Amino acid sequence: MSIRLTPDAVYERLTSGTPNGAGLEVPLYDYDVVIAGSGPIGCAYARTILEDPTIPDARVLMVEIGSQDSSVIGEHHKNSIKFQKDIDAFVNVIKAALQDVSVPPGDTYIPTLVGNGWTPPVNNGTQLIFQGSNPNQIRELNLKASAVTRTVGGMATHWTCACPTPHPEEIRNNPIPQAERDSLFQRARELLNVHNDQYEFSMRHTTVKDTLLETLPAGRNVQSLPLAVERRSDNPAYVTWSGSNTVLGDVASYGDRFKLLSETRFTKLILDNDTPNLIQGALLRDLGNDRDVLAQAKAYVIATGAVGTPQVLANSGIYPDTLGRNLCEQSLAFCQVVMTPEMIDSITNSTNADWQRRIAIHKASHPTDPLPIPFNDPEPQVMIPYTTDFPWHCQVHRDAFSYGDVGPRADARVVVDLRFFGKQEINPNNRVYFPQNLARDWIPGNTDIYGMPQATFEVQRSHLDSVNDQKMMRDLCAVADELGAYLPGSNPQFMDPGLALHITGTTRIGDDPTTSVADRSSRVHGFTNLFVGGNGCIPDSTSSNPTLTSVMIALKACEAVSELLRQPTTA
């Protein structure tokens, strides 16, 4: 499985231009597997393939459009002690990491501009397009807050690490048999280093959890939130959050069998009319040197996110009718509460000897502090899982998002965040699409800031979605009422569409090519050596966090990739 033409000839065919200047050859990388994307899904593919004893010489090339912002590949930025001491400061890190997907042009007419300043011409039917804005986006159909993170490690550099197991109703369309799924889920937990006991000694965690266990019906199944995190053995006051590096494993042990290209755009896959079911190579763009690069492999994995993956496929001329469709995104209701005096009193008067020891140490150091809670007491991490009667996922915690910092309004030790995530009905007309013909190249025109086809959303929630969202909001208010009073400015509210950052369905897996993009092994229908990965592969509408499920699906796909690599190479 190799590129049949010379690299220069392939490049010339793709671009109708001269390769990187007259007389300069196009650089060529030759690996067994090329993976687009360095998030936890791409890293799950890479590690599983590199550690497979049946293919001990397998070599993996990983391509990432963003830069490597840490000395450790894809490390979670919240592992910094600074952010563990001040979680609200991490909000700014998240904001800086996120780039909006589709922004309609705004009103750029400035009526107060005087003098000799340029202004758009009047009534000429044009719009002033800022770089990255999308003139095709209909405001009412947009996922306004949907964003991506372009960096080595992707969203895993700042995610919450929440890894709940989906309810059976959240995985009913998944074609992988249940017994196999259960095994794959366990492997996914191990890769992500998931625990649900790392906050059990926290005063705040225990108090919030016990309060909800006492006040909510037993059927709500209040429990500790499973997290990809582990408390540090050298200093239990701090934790190590799992990032893409956790999933990737010991890079040094892979030697020259693994290579990461950062700040490199995965532009398109190379097709060949003589072998339409076989990807022959990949066209990359070295952004730093502003030159094109070619890569060839036996297998190709596109794992650049629920928007980025269909974007690459569309740009490659691989655009089945199912691509980008069946898009589901979670609704998100949010509020913050200040805990009740009774909850604080229960900490002060607790008979827990360890608590009293820690309170005494805190009081000795801070005798004027009116709160009994030590400054290093871990935050609560509590979950009320999805059930048939309450079909939404609830998190009661104190964590950093791109919103919801406490600031000077209250002591953060008594503030609890409530985030409730609601499902969306599956509808094939809900989609993300790209300006595209069905030939090899996309129609020139509107692009994102990286020169790829601009993603445009067409998403609407149904009447049933609205009804369930309102029920979810009432439940959020009821749960909040058990915990305290609303923090001014953080009253119960629905957040902008897309803010959950949990899009599913855009490259969904399934056995039927008319309703899915890839098979149960994540192999794109109609291709032998092309695989996809990420939340877009999930064929269900979910309310719980999707990362664990996406890793599970990727582990299933790795079996098919390994099988492909074990086959002898053909000329």
46-75 pLDDT per residue, tens:
999 999 999 999 999 999 999 999 899 999
Q: Is residue 491 part of a domain?
A: yes
Six-digit token pair at 129?
Answer: 């397009």
283 shares a domain with 215: no
* 448 alpha-carbon distance from chain centroid: 19
Query: Which of 233-237, 264-268, 439-443 shows the lowest per-residue confidence on average (mean pLDDT)?
Result: 439-443
* Contact (Cβ atoms closer than 8 angstroms) between residue 531 and residue 35: no
The strand pair at 281-286 and 239-241 is best described as unpaired
323 shares a domain with 199: no
pTM of the model: 0.93
Q: Is residue 247 part of a domain?
A: yes
484 shares a domain with 383: yes
Active-site residue, selected from the candidate residues 174, 326, 430, 545: 545
Q: Is residue 540 part of a domain?
A: yes
Q: Is residue 520 part of a domain?
A: yes
Structural domain count of the chain: 2
265 shares a domain with 231: no
- Cα 379 to Cα 205: distance, rounded to the nearest angstrom: 6
Q: Where are the beta strands (DSSP E) in 399-521?
A: 415-422, 431-433, 456-458, 484-486, 493-494
* Contact (Cβ atoms closer than 8 angstroms) between residue 416 and residue 568: no
Residue 123, phi then psi, degrees to nearest 5: 55, 45
Amino acid at 226: P
pLDDT reported for residue 26: 76
Strand order in the sheet with 239-241: 194-195, 227-231, 239-241
Q: Is residue 535 part of a domain?
A: yes
pLDDT reported for residue 106: 72
71 shares a domain with 203: no
pLDDT in tens, 530-561: 999 999 999 999 999 999 999 999 999 999 99
Distances 139 to 42, 65, 99, 310, 477 between C-alpha atoms, Å: 32, 28, 18, 22, 29
Distances 222 to 189, 359, 383 between C-alpha atoms, Å: 20, 27, 6
What range does the domain containing 386 cover?
A: 194-241+331-422+462-496
Amino acid at 571: A
Q: Is residue 116 part of a domain?
A: no
The strand pair at 227-231 and 239-241 is best described as antiparallel
Six-digit token pair at 432?
Answer: 């993300």
502 tagged catalytic? yes
Q: Is residue 118 part of a domain?
A: no
Q: Is residue 120 part of a domain?
A: no
- Cα 524 to Cα 516: distance, rounded to the nearest angstrom: 9
* Contact (Cβ atoms closer than 8 angstroms) between residue 558 and residue 328: no
53 shares a domain with 11: yes
234 shares a domain with 313: no
Active-site residue, selected from the candidate residues 362, 397, 502, 525: 502
196 tagged catalytic? no
Residue 472, phi then psi, degrees to nearest 5: -65, -40
- Cα 230 to Cα 240: distance, rounded to the nearest angstrom: 5
DSSP string covering 211-224, please? HHHHHS-GGG--EE
140 shares a domain with 23: yes
405 shares a domain with 314: no
- Cα 156 to Cα 72: distance, rounded to the nearest angstrom: 13
Maximum C-alpha span of the chain: 80
223: Cβ–Cβ under 8 A, 6 or more apart, which residues?
196, 209, 382, 383, 385
pLDDT in tens, 439-453: 434 444 578 999 999
CATH number at 247 reads: 3.50.50.60
Six-digit token pair at 170?
Answer: 């959240």
341 shares a domain with 302: no
147 shares a domain with 73: yes
pLDDT band at 437 (very low <50, low <70, confident <90, very high): very low
pLDDT in tens, 23-51: 446 789 999 999 999 999 999 999 999 99
416 shares a domain with 284: no
